[in-house]
Amino acid sequence: MSETPSESMFFAAIEALLKLSGATDAHYQAILDQVLNHFACTAGTIHTLGPASGMLLLRARRNIPDGLLPRIEKIPIGKGLAGLAAERRQPVQVCNLQTDNSGAARPAAKETGMESCIALPMLAGDELVGVLGVAKPTAYEFSETEIAHLMKIGSVIGKFSATEK
């Protein structure tokens, strides 16, 4: 994967933020906001794997309706896009959430008003530490290059999240 100088700076900025004082909820929120801006997405989440519960725990969100919070604060591995990405340790993408019949997304996901979305595992080596999810309000398919960059962001976050356990 080749990076442009601005992408290299973007990855370095995320790493610097985490190095400064670790992976706190405020840092996850700042990183999520940067990722959404960089990829022209309007909604997203960051979940980390709860070491005791084995569930994905919400750490940051942007433009997710409050009514969905009870359903996304704790996500079991294997359930919904985030749970599937965690279980498979692979990105899970839906081009149009509003018309998708694949069963990957939970029916309540339509309440976000988003169409395209992707959930990517955050890994520290082979260890799952969480899931990054981003979405756009229009139908869209993330390119292989975009997915590779999002996975790299997930691994940068994952490296620091693993040290927080």
Q: Report whether pLDDT(162) > 80.
A: no
Q: The pTM is what?
A: 0.88
Asked whether the beta carbons of 75 and 84 are under 8 A apart, the reply is: no
The mean pLDDT value for 133-141 works out to 92
pLDDT attached to residue 161: 73
Q: Residue 32 to residues 71, 117, 143, 149: CA-CA distances in angstroms?
A: 20, 14, 19, 14
Asked whether the beta carbons of 134 and 36 are under 8 A apart, the reply is: yes
pLDDT band of residue 146 (cuts 50, 70, 90) is: very high
- The token duo for 83 is 């749970």
Asked whether the beta carbons of 132 and 99 are under 8 A apart, the reply is: no
pLDDT attached to residue 21: 61
pLDDT band of residue 116 (cuts 50, 70, 90) is: confident
DSSP-derived secondary structure letter, 51: T
pLDDT attached to residue 102: 66
DSSP-derived secondary structure letter, 98: T
pLDDT for 63-82, tens place per residue? 998 988 999 999 999 998 99
Q: What is the CATH number of domain 5-163?
A: 3.30.450.40
pLDDT attached to residue 94: 83
Q: Report whether pLDDT(26) > 90.
A: no
Percent of the chain with pLDDT over 70: 82
The mean pLDDT value for 76-101 works out to 85
Percent of the chain with pLDDT over 90: 52
Asked whether the beta carbons of 29 and 142 are under 8 A apart, the reply is: no
Q: Where are the domains of the chain?
A: 5-163
> In the predicted model, what is the mean pLDDT of the chain?
85
- The token duo for 150 is 């999002």
pLDDT attached to residue 165: 46
Q: Report whether pLDDT(89) > 60.
A: yes
Long-range contacts of 150-155 (CB under 8 A, 24+ apart): 150/35, 150/39, 150/91, 150/118, 150/120, 151/91, 151/120, 152/1, 152/11, 153/11, 153/14, 153/31, 153/35, 154/120, 154/121, 154/122, 154/123, 154/130, 155/122, 155/123, 155/124
